[in-house]
Amino acid sequence: MRTFLLCVLLVLPLGVLFACGDEPAEKPKGETPAVTPLPPAPGEVGLDADLEKAVAAAIAKGRTFLLSQQEANGGFTDRAVEQMQANVSFTAMAVSALVASVPSTAVSKDEAIRKGLTFLKGLQREDGAIVDNPKWTNYCTSAAIAALASAKVGDFRAVQSKAMAYLRSSQIVDESNKGSFGGFPYKDGQTADGSNAFIAGTALELGDLPKDAVERKNMKRFASGLQNSDESNPDPITIKTEDGEERTVVSSNDGGAIYRVGESKAGMVKRSDGTWELRSYGSMTYAVLKLLMFAGVKADDARVQALVGWISSHWTVDRNPGFESAEDPQSAGQQGYYYYLYTMARALDSYETVSGKPLVVRDADGRKHNWRAEIAHAVLKRQAESGSWRNEVDRWMEGMQTLATAFAMQTLGVVNGRLD
């Protein structure tokens, strides 16, 4: 597990967000508090010994479940879904989860992992894409690269390199497509979105994309375009709703993020002046934070500060925040829950890497949160006796145990340092 010598303090207009040590003494308005960073107190970062053991046990139990979903050809399915065949996306996600279940020195010899990678290799096209459903070409290829890169099995290096070349070539770089420039679509010809960009960015980073690669620079522009910030996005845009109504959309300036330019899965709200704001929500806010880290943006950048401001104001590991105004907010907040925790873990882990310091998160009320421990507890308490996880709110396929279990295990793998 990574170790760090210092912790980070960001004093932002929205309050103390990611911090360490005692709170600074109150200063007169207009003055910047003088703060001496202190090492985190015991228990404020990381997992203690008991929680480490509990996480390891949960991952081992999850592994047993995942192995029950592996077919003879090495691919993974969900046996609870009638006649469902093994596929690329489930196999890639499951393999990444299995990497978290064994010591790094044992990965290359793990039979289930090797069989899964062989299944993915068998579905690689001549152009490098790894896919069995053309509707999800980039998503599948990105997930496969992440599995290959996490496993680091030499026999499959050429497969990974070929897939990386395809993925890099699929980034949208058409200047006429301003809202999608720098992002990644599900397949060629579609607009880009934050979810695919997050999966692709994670894959490229795990695949050791050079730090000076143009894809990183392009991603910065795309990720910035998804932020509800009038500094990043000062100009209104016009969109058409599904029923053909034209609406003028402006930034809410809350610092969070949306799914794609002109669309939020959390919906929109009408302002008193007749314009509309797209609601920010948790999983996309963390995804954009991760993408800015991938793009080489520094932790003290104004865009990053605005994102962590939203995170501080909406800190929770119990739901995907941003859906509070939905017709059924309790159910809506569970949509994409395991993906939400996964993006959170990846984003905050990247933030620590970029800053070189561990995080102690403070919420809007100034309370401290050990993010790794809180995520771990949230995941552990939802594991079924079978070792699986499943989201009762079945949106974005999280009602399928194999996918939800893979997300949960990868999340635990990030918080305990098993996954880079």
Which residue in 213, 215, 237 sits closest to 225, CA to CA? 237
Mean pLDDT, residues 45-54 taken together? 95
Supply the mean pLDDT for the chain. Answer: 90
Distance of CA 220 to the CA centre of its chain: 16
188 or 20: which carries more pLDDT confidence? Answer: 188
Contacts of 142 (CB under 8 A, 6+ apart): 167, 184, 196, 199, 200, 202, 203
Percent of the chain at pLDDT above 70? 90
Lowest mean per-residue pLDDT among 149-153, 233-237, 401-405: 233-237
The answer to whether residues 202 and 141 touch, using CB atoms and an 8 Å cutoff, is no
Taking the C-alpha atoms of residue 20 and residue 41, their distance in angstroms, rounded to an integer, is: 8
pLDDT tens digit string along 257-289? 999 999 999 999 999 999 999 999 999 999 999
20 or 267: which carries more pLDDT confidence? Answer: 267
Give, in degrees to the nearest 5, the angle at Cα 48 between 7 and 67: 115
Contacts of 61 (CB under 8 A, 6+ apart): 383, 387
Helix (H) or strand (E) holding 368: strand 368-369
pLDDT tens digit string along 71-122? 999 999 999 998 899 999 999 999 999 999 999 999 999 999 999 999 999 9
Which residue type, as a one-letter code, is found at position 80? A
Alpha-carbon dihedral sign for residues 163, 164, 165, 167: positive
Name the one residue in this structure whose structure tokens are 């990574």: 2
Instruction: Name the pTM for this structure.
Output: 0.90
Helix (H) or strand (E) holding 309: helix 302-313
